[in-house]
Amino acid sequence: MTVPLSILDLAPIPAGGNARDALRNTIDLARQAESFGYRRYWLAEHHFAAGVVSSAPAVLIGLVAAATSRIRVGSGAVQLGHQTPLAVVEQFGLLDAAHPGRIDLGLGRSGQRRAELARRAEGPPAPPEQGRVVDGLLIPPPFDFSGLLRAPHLAFQASLLQQPGARTPDFADQLDEVQAFLHGTYTSSDGLAAHAVPGEGADVELWILGSSGGQSARVAGERGLPFAANYHVSPATVLEAVEAYREAFKPSAVLAEPYVIVSADAVVAGDEAAARELAKPYGLWVRSIRTGQGAIPYPTPEQADAHVWTEEDRRLVADRVDTQFAGDPEAVAEGLRVLQRVTQADELLITTITHDHADRVRSYELLAQAWD
């Protein structure tokens, strides 16, 4: 079965470029993606990163939806730990009013997930796990976030994303509030009603994104909502994420059966050598994220060649580099078919970053042609 392809865009800034370049490239790519036949175009949420401009997904969604006419546009994902459910519903209510029937509201846990990982980092280190291959799909050892989470500047940055003294509520409770505002059923504990205007009755698709078999996957299943699992961010845990979602799934007014989208990093070119050249900077870019400095402007292949790699560097990025699909169109399409078969994904979400915008557009075009 050939499942639909969609796009996840971080609005990357290329080395030597700026935020205007990134926005212009994102809007152009969205227009091209619509003509290539991609189903949806999602924008990520990232903060304190010099190399991406996806800090306000609702703003980007509005720009992309205005520049296109058919493709669904949404968030992958709004981080609920940074906003109230009411604020999110009002923003996406405005988007739906402007672009009815085309908006996806993808939600992520952010604050709670970060706190859980930080607590885990304070305990004894977990025993190392081995990678494995499942029916042709590489499942690498999980990345150890403990060193990264001890960095004091990360806690400082997290504090800037909330009001002083604010605490992130339970994700399931936040999700219930989002749904109540959308459905017009929100009431306080003492029976007072509140209505989101705009937002109430908005025709948005509600999605939950998750990187593990934890609360996000379970809550998505229990609420009968579609779920997006991250092979591109956390390839080690993608199978447990989709399994936990399906095990918890209960039919709802939204879905009669589970619906899973799985993300993947991919770079496509006319031949494997050209694709590998375009993909060279990826490891250096991932290294910037995992050393705590935040995503740097996306390097050129020449800048990647100039970096002197240590063994520690290679271990730091191995799971991400080894699970990136880079090659000619048929090779990448076949790798993605393996990912789809093993995860039983109903849709695949492709994220591609290259230094030159034209190469990124061409990668998506070649992949769409090979997939059809």
How many Å apart are CA 65 and CA 115, to the nearest integer? 34
Residues 6 or more apart whose Cβ sits within 8 Å of residue 8: 42, 43, 44, 76, 232, 263, 349, 350, 351
Mean pLDDT is lowest, of 129-133, 275-279, 354-358, 362-366, for 129-133
> Could you read off the pLDDT of 76-131 as tens digits, one per residue?
999 999 899 999 999 999 999 999 999 999 999 975 555 555 444 455 455 567 89
Query: Is residue 211 over pLDDT 50?
Result: yes
Q: Mean pLDDT, to the nearest integer, of 129-144?
A: 93
> According to the model, what pLDDT value does residue 119 have?
46
**Full DSSP string of 244-262:** HHHHH----SS-SS--EEE
* Comparison of pLDDT for 327 and 166, the residue scoring more: 327
The rounded percent of the chain whose pLDDT value lies above 90 is 84
What Cα–Cα distance (Å) separates residue 359 from each residue in 47, 275, 323, 329?
26, 9, 20, 13
DSSP 342: H
SS (H, E, C) 93-119: HHHHHHCCCCEEEEEECCHHHHHHHHH
Q: Mean pLDDT, to the nearest integer, of 261-290?
A: 97
* CB-CB neighbours of 48 under 10 Å: 15
Residue with tokens 């063994």: 311
Phi, psi of 275 (to 5 degrees): -65, -40
The rounded percent of the chain whose pLDDT value lies above 70 is 95
> According to the model, what pLDDT value does residue 302 have?
97
Query: Is residue 297 over pLDDT 90?
Result: yes
Q: Mean pLDDT, to the nearest integer, of 150-172?
A: 84
Q: Mean pLDDT, to the nearest integer, of 313-335?
A: 97
Task: Answer whether 227's CB lies under 8 Å from 260's CB.
Answer: yes
> According to the model, what pLDDT value does residue 121 have?
45
Mean pLDDT is lowest, of 44-48, 117-121, 293-297, 334-338, for 117-121
Phi, psi of 362 (to 5 degrees): -65, -35
Q: Say whether domain 5-371 belongs to CATH 3.90.650.10.
A: no
How many Å apart are CA 343 and CA 74, to the nearest integer? 23
How many Å apart are CA 245 and CA 213, to the nearest integer? 7
Q: Mean pLDDT, to the nearest integer, of 27-36?
A: 98
* Comparison of pLDDT for 116 and 304, the residue scoring more: 304
Q: What's the token pair of residue 168?
A: 């992130």
* Comparison of pLDDT for 121 and 246, the residue scoring more: 246
**Alpha helices by DSSP H, the chain:** 19-36, 57-67, 85-98, 111-122, 146-149, 152-160, 171-183, 215-222, 238-248, 272-279, 281-290, 301-306, 311-322, 329-343, 357-371
What Cα–Cα distance (Å) separates residue 360 from each residue in 191, 218, 232, 325, 364?
52, 35, 17, 14, 6
Entry pTM: 0.95
